[in-house]
Structure 1
């Protein structure tokens, strides 16, 4: 400290000491003679200064909990947890009083002798502070209350004016607060170094014990940090910290709080710090993307403050207890499945994202994706984008949803009163004309083809849904009306992930291929639309938060589900019935979960993205798999994801198993509930008879070889090449597994196929072939149960969104 600064500091202390002395004299002595009059005048002017200092609780940690009370994350500007003075160790109180204000319980906020003593010691070269604990508390309150840099600078300035203001506030506080209340406030607001604010957080941070269990050497260490938190930071300056602790112990001896023997014993204790800083924010959370969604919900919701800045400050300073909808069992099952099928650091840079919703409430039970949460998008396996949700909640601009949108077309058709038997000749390729957008504009003719495992032929709603025929659904959309189909999607809460409705800018957004999922949406919106079917037509806004307890304000905000009926129950139940048929010989045949379920696969044009959406009465989920760099530029073709190679990925290839494993795990322990039966008003649920194969028919009208009654050919015992030829001739994609199985068939020949011979599958479906290693009788248990690697199907990929 320079000589000029030192002299200025001395003069300030002397002046403040004189003022304090005059105030005490004026308040304690009668006005006799000139000196008394002067003192009384000084006191009168001083007492006329503003004295009302608000003392709100200081900033605290906010905590986000799952639905079972487990901690998801803590979020804070300052690591602080408030504690009552009765829950602070007596030795901690003795230590802080000894080193900071030994006369605290004797003075009235102004320690005149302490101020004068500090001035004398500073003049002698030993700089010493002069503030009482009450004055220090006042200063900290003003710093925490500052809302601008100007106010903050004013609270910290080294001037006589600031000292006098503190004195005035201190006098006022001593008149309206008890000593214990002031000391409690001080110990909760003080900064104790290394990011620990308040004595409770300091005790936890430095010694992993609550403030109530601090021992003498620990309390002396913490008390010594207050004066110069940075100089005495134990992390960086352990020797200075130890020296300062010993000073505190000596002061405690001087104040007779402890004996010399106790002080020496405490000095002999090793510092032995085990710094434990609580994780702050969503990055270190085990559920980071759900955590981020909760943060976004608070910061974007006008119910929680006038602007985003105020809402963010409230979240990080008010000590909120935020109770959420996240179900730990569902989250664990879903994250495990996502990570298994699409590892976080896969070299193909594909991502899987999944949302799980509770029908009838909109509560988000799980939110998973195959990425670590972090800001470096160039780092493999890391992102801060929540691909599960919309852009306004930290998500992306969405992804085309493929044939999951066919469920919307079904609902629109049933809403028009069409029966299940509504049939169309649905060849491999067709042209649809005459579609009209919501603004009345007539769209150009649309030519499309089936893709993937879609079946051609004569279809009604039941068989068309089972086989996911593009050409059937294009005609069904035209019959129901493109605009009505789009409006049905919006009734179900669907909109583009960028926030725009499908009916906005109609000429730009409305398009013929709506039923094939050509719009970019988020998994959360798709899952919630399917939850509306599961709930019998009641739509609920997605909900992540059920209650917020504001400990600072002493208030509680309960958040109830926001639900309304948007479609008739019969329409919802009819759609559910049709979607349930996909598990019965349809595109989801291998994805059952051992209880009633309904669902739909989805693969976009060119296998850019793959989806699965489905539900039970208790849960609805949708899974997306694709490439966030651009699905069209980086499709799901000829890719290795983790240790699996895929020629092409369909909705049933990766999204389906993720959904299946998630739902199985999430439903463990839950009672089995039935889906609604088919409403009688929609008529027969029978499928149409398969078309007749006539040589004179056009190829587009022929049933595919995979639709023949024989199903999967029995190729067991054949050579690999003969088996592949037979299966491909039947219209199937063949995957020869690298895993051999023990079998009585000769080594190298076919030991087993999956699905079994005779199983009827849609055209383009994958049949897995397992070769024999010889050495014994074949067993179906020897074939891996679903861990197979599909390859590119024979022939070109056809136009249109498939599955």
Structure 2
């Protein structure tokens, strides 16, 4: 009868009577009071924004596969048509059987609630529309105070809901309201909305729910904890049966159907979607993406706002990572530096696409987790800078030498630029970018390099000769080398500049004394590969905001940083390292250019290399402090190393990764060596007249000869051969000569020593060191580095 009255009375009169019933005792004057209250009720604010509720955001790889989900609430929005009819019927039968008949207010239920309200109980009697309003107010609250206001058990809150409900029914269809309710309602156990609840409890989509399952879910919304089928199966079953009885009463199902459903077990299949980066197969890349959003003002005014947007807006974040390349990188770093190795060393690797800056892989030999005390666990991303969740960086060793090559070529110097500096040399008069004169710098070459040798740009790069690069940097100018590094996007990982009052530039800049991240170095080498085009590292290509319906496109941010001929010249020089140089035996079956790096005392080791279409950098060291925990006399996994160089572990990691990662890429060639930089002979020019007085002939080319023939040829030429006991990986047959130092063609005095290195064959998993020409001794400076 009361429901019939509600249909006959106008909205204003109904509201007035309702509010009077809720607000006043049942005494005389009700008609006048109702009219006055109705007028005030209809004058209340009624515009309720109904934005989509919070839902899960997903991070996708470049092929659209999910690599991580991030959310505050486990919710996935679906259309009403994508929910099983029995789900809709069950919720209506249990929560608001007259939903399709009333105008937003269930008069009968609300009058009954009024009586309870006068007794201090404001629960019950709410229509589905009112419940939807309450949920919207709670979910759209920006502050804790607003959330508490939306949940408060007061008459004022109830009246606000009623007014919003009446207005909502005038601008939304019943199906739209029901869809909104079924997407926003909490079904318990962390599942919001019918779709997520169906997947969580039963492992099916909402449109696949059967009668018993739908009734179980519909029974939870009033008291989600009490009727949680996982925690309280008996109560949940009893509640399900109540729902089934109500569905019989309302005519949605027959008694027979209800009895059949009651006879079934709950048959749960509970699962939870992963949340955050920890469960991801590529957690550190995931973390980089999260940092990219939370640290970028483009996505919100402050970090709190950006973090909330990420976790509530249902974003579809399309990224640059290639899952196959990521797997190749992860397999390689885990193989050579196991995650839980007792030495606590770590390997970190980044792959970047030249010409776009897109990050294809980001791997390190650590499990992702917050407890650094657990062996093999960290939340620090050692591949990137501190402001992206990374470390303060690591000295990069001789991977910095190509910066000096680029600066020299940029100034017009040629491949024939040569120096005869001996095994030890002293550099004087270097100036920093403020014009300050630095102290004299004395340095030495490591290995078996002998004094009196002369190198040009090609042989100096192949042998990674420290004394050569010290002189080259001195001629170019330290400040110009620093500026070239900055042009190539290289910067300290801690955010400091290379040359200020706190971090003053030092003599050994060319030898990699600055702390940088692997991502920075990979991106700089990608600039060489792309003809001098530098792009900012990019992890995200687009973001679909499912709340606003907008899509944010992120295009590559590139500029021509150096001349294309300079880049081609550097690439030519770095290709030579595979031919008897420091990267010999680490080729990948296609054109590649690379450079090793080992810091002073083997504190850390690097390998940076590239093809024309993919660049990669590997770092190996100890996060506790490479100088205090160097790569000497160390067991990593099941291998013991007396000393680790850039070609010992980083090199094989790079080789194995790139061999797999480039399989689907075309085998492109580098441009030829630009003619403007002169000839490409590896032999330096003849020394000056004073030096030439003692020279009678050049070192014969004995590479590829058996040991005895090579020794005989060198002795016949008037030199003293010194056959090294250490064999090196080489394309030459095992036991034949892989390389000599000084290089073939070098002109030396009669009786000079020529060092001979025999080949170990097609490469070796363990290397005791690189070919001669590396190493630095500068007492008192831990920043100075070896030069491999």
Q: What is the TM-score when the length of structure 2 is the normalising length?
A: 0.88
Q: Equivalent residue for 1:181?
A: 176
Q: 1:229 aligns with which of 224, 231, 250?
A: 224
SS at match of 1:651: coil
Distance 1:446 1:732, change over 3 A: farther
Q: 1:504 aligns with which of 493, 500, 507?
A: 500
Equivalences for 1:364-379 in 2 at 5 Å? 364-379=359-374
Q: 1:760 aligns with which of 716, 739, 743?
A: 739
Q: 2:43 aligns with which of 28, 39, 48?
A: 48
Q: Equivalent residue for 2:628?
A: 633
Deviations 1:271-324 (A, max 9, x none): 121111100011100010111101111111111111111111111111111111
CA RMSD of aligned residues (A): 3.2
Deviations 1:536-576 (A, max 9, x none): 11111111111111111011111111111111111111111
Query: How far apart in 2 are the matches of 1:356 and 1:557?
Result: 24
Deviations 1:120-171 (A, max 9, x none): 7999999972211111111111111111111111111111111111111111
What 5-or-longer segments of structure 1 have no aligned partner?
1-17, 27-32, 717-727, 737-751, 770-779
Distance 1:396 1:125, change over 3 A: closer
Query: How far apart in 2 are the matches of 1:444 and 1:511?
Result: 9
Distance 1:581 1:158, change over 3 A: same
Query: How far apart in 2 are the matches of 1:548 and 1:167?
Result: 38
Aligned 8 A contact 2:648 2:765 in 1: no
Query: How far apart in 2 are the matches of 1:683 and 1:418?
Result: 9
Distance 1:660 1:202, change over 3 A: same
Equivalences for 1:665-684 in 2 at 5 Å? 665-684=660-679
Query: How far apart in 1 are the matches of 2:449 and 2:339?
Result: 31
Q: What is the CA distance between 1:110 and its match in structure 2?
A: 1.1
Query: How far apart in 1 are the matches of 2:568 and 2:516?
Result: 24
Q: What is the CA distance between 1:449 and its match in structure 2?
A: 1.2
Distance 1:318 1:669, change over 3 A: same
Q: What is the TM-score when the length of structure 1 is the normalising length?
A: 0.86
Distance 1:576 1:435, change over 3 A: same
Q: Is 1:461 matched with 2:457?
A: yes
Aligned 8 A contact 2:324 2:661 in 1: yes
Q: Is 1:494 matched with 2:479?
A: no
Q: What is the CA distance between 1:23 and its match in structure 2?
A: 4.1
Query: How far apart in 2 are the matches of 1:368 and 1:793?
Result: 28
Q: What is the CA distance between 1:671 and its match in structure 2?
A: 1.6
Q: Equivalent residue for 1:329?
A: 324
Query: How far apart in 2 are the matches of 1:596 and 1:755?
Result: 23
Q: Is 1:89 matched with 2:84?
A: yes
Distance 1:167 1:427, change over 3 A: same
Query: How far apart in 1 are the matches of 2:479 and 2:245?
Result: 84
Q: Equivalent residue for 1:446?
A: 441
Q: Equivalent residue for 1:130?
A: 125
Distance 1:401 1:433, change over 3 A: same
Query: How far apart in 2 are the matches of 1:234 and 1:768?
Result: 69
Query: How far apart in 2 are the matches of 1:590 and 1:358?
Result: 24
Query: How far apart in 2 are the matches of 1:474 and 1:232?
Result: 75
Query: How far apart in 1 are the matches of 2:631 and 2:226?
Result: 57
Distance 1:792 1:638, change over 3 A: farther
Query: How far apart in 2 are the matches of 1:294 and 1:755?
Result: 47
Aligned 8 A contact 1:732 1:765 in 2: no
Distance 1:375 1:345, change over 3 A: same
Q: Equivalent residue for 2:765?
A: 787
Q: 1:269 aligns with which of 264, 270, 275?
A: 264
Q: Is 1:733 matched with 2:726?
A: yes
Distance 1:225 1:766, change over 3 A: farther
Distance 1:126 1:433, change over 3 A: closer
Q: 1:346 aligns with which of 341, 345, 356?
A: 341
Q: Equivalent residue for 1:302?
A: 297
Query: How far apart in 2 are the matches of 1:790 and 1:754?
Result: 19
Aligned 8 A contact 1:713 1:730 in 2: no
Query: How far apart in 2 are the matches of 1:549 and 1:256?
Result: 42
Aligned 8 A contact 1:296 1:394 in 2: yes
Distance 1:95 1:762, change over 3 A: farther
Deviations 1:338-369 (A, max 9, x none): 11111111111110111111111111111111
Q: Equivalent residue for 2:714?
A: none
Q: What is the CA distance between 1:117 and its match in structure 2?
A: 3.8
Query: How far apart in 2 are the matches of 1:451 and 1:791?
Result: 10
Distance 1:224 1:436, change over 3 A: same
Q: 2:33 aligns with which of 32, 38, 42?
A: 38
Equivalences for 1:6-17 in 2 at 5 Å? none
Q: 2:158 aligns with which of 163, 168, 183?
A: 163
What 5-or-longer segments of structure 2 have no aligned partner?
1-12, 22-27, 710-720, 743-754, 778-784
Deviations 1:503-525 (A, max 9, x none): 333x7320000000000000000
Q: Equivalent residue for 1:576?
A: 571
SS at match of 2:363: strand
Aligned 8 A contact 1:322 1:548 in 2: yes
Q: What is the CA distance between 1:709 and its match in structure 2?
A: 3.9
Equivalences for 1:241-640 in 2 at 5 Å? 241-452=236-447, 457-505=453-501, 508-640=503-635
Q: Equivalent residue for 1:802?
A: 787
SS at match of 2:737: coil
Q: What is the CA distance between 1:227 and its match in structure 2?
A: 0.5
Deviations 1:362-407 (A, max 9, x none): 1111111111111011111110000000000000000000000000
Query: How far apart in 2 are the matches of 1:301 and 1:447?
Result: 45
Query: How far apart in 1 are the matches of 2:606 and 2:388?
Result: 21
Q: Equivalent residue for 2:6?
A: none
Deviations 1:31-84 (A, max 9, x none): xx9644332111101111111111100001111111111111111111111111
SS at match of 2:739: coil
Aligned 8 A contact 2:604 2:626 in 1: yes
Q: Equivalent residue for 1:30?
A: none
Aligned 8 A contact 2:728 2:771 in 1: no
Query: How far apart in 2 are the matches of 1:475 and 1:546?
Result: 43
SS at match of 1:733: coil
SS at match of 2:738: coil
Distance 1:480 1:228, change over 3 A: same
Aligned 8 A contact 1:321 1:548 in 2: yes
After the TM superposition, which of the residue ranges 665-674 and 413-422 deviates more from structure 2?
Answer: 665-674
Equivalences for 1:700-715 in 2 at 5 Å? 709=702, 714=707
Q: What is the CA distance between 1:209 and its match in structure 2?
A: 1.0
Query: How far apart in 1 are the matches of 2:516 and 2:137?
Result: 48
Query: How far apart in 1 are the matches of 2:120 and 2:548?
Result: 47
SS at match of 1:269: coil
Q: What is the CA distance between 1:589 and its match in structure 2?
A: 1.1
Aligned 8 A contact 2:90 2:214 in 1: yes
Query: How far apart in 2 are the matches of 1:175 and 1:107?
Result: 12
Aligned 8 A contact 1:587 1:762 in 2: no
Deviations 1:84-129 (A, max 9, x none): 1111110000100011111111111111211334567999999972
Query: How far apart in 1 are the matches of 2:450 and 2:651?
Result: 19
Distance 1:160 1:768, change over 3 A: farther
Distance 1:798 1:227, change over 3 A: same
Q: Equivalent residue for 2:652?
A: 657
Residue-pair matches, total: 733
Aligned 8 A contact 1:67 1:325 in 2: yes
Distance 1:500 1:791, change over 3 A: closer
Distance 1:793 1:554, change over 3 A: closer
Query: How far apart in 2 are the matches of 1:765 and 1:34?
Result: 115
Deviations 1:406-427 (A, max 9, x none): 0000000001100110000132
Distance 1:641 1:569, change over 3 A: same
Q: Equivalent residue for 2:750?
A: none
